[in-house]
Amino acid sequence: MKLYPAIDLRGGQAVRLYQGDYDQMTVYNADPVAQAQQFIDAGAKYLHVVDLDGAKDDTTANMQTIAAIAKLGSLKIEVGGGIRDEARIRQYLDLGVDRCILGTVAVKNFAFTQEMAQKYGAQIAVGVDMKDGFVAVNGWKEVTPEPGVAFCRRCAEAGVKAIIATDISRDGTMQGTNMALYRELLTIPGLEITASGGIAAMAELAELQAMHCHAAILGKSIYTGAIDLAKAVRLYEGE
Beta bridge partners of 77: 47
Task: Name the residue type at position 79.
Answer: V
158 in Cβ contact with 128 (< 8 Å): no
* pLDDT per residue as tens, the chain (239 positions): 999 999 999 999 999 888 778 888 999 999 999 999 999 999 999 999 999 998 888 778 899 999 999 999 999 999 999 999 999 999 999 999 999 999 999 999 999 999 999 999 999 999 999 999 999 998 767 899 999 999 999 999 999 999 999 998 876 667 789 999 999 999 999 999 999 988 999 999 999 999 999 999 999 999 999 999 999 999 998 65
Task: Note if 129 is an active site residue.
Answer: yes
Q: Where are the alpha helices (DSSP H) in 96-162?
A: 104-108, 110-120, 148-157
Where do the domains of the chain lie?
Answer: 2-236
CB atoms within 10 A of CB 90: 12
| Rounded Cα gap, residues 186 and 181, in angstroms | 9
Annotated catalytic residue: which of 23, 58, 85, 129?
A: 129
* Contacts for 197 with CB less than 8 Å, ≥ 6 apart: 166, 167, 168, 170, 171, 172, 177, 178, 217
CATH of 2-236, one of 3.20.20.70, 3.40.50.150, 3.40.50.720, 3.40.50.460: 3.20.20.70
User: Count of residues for the chain?
Assistant: 239
Half-sphere exposure of 78 (CA within 13 A, CB side): 27
Helices and strands, number each (H, E), in the chain: 11, 12
List the beta strands (DSSP E) in the chain.
Answer: 2-10, 13-18, 21-29, 46-51, 76-80, 99-102, 124-131, 134-137, 142-147, 162-167, 192-196, 215-218
The pTM (predicted TM-score) of the whole model is 0.95
> Measuring CA to CA, which residue among 59, 149, 223 is closest to residue 199?
223
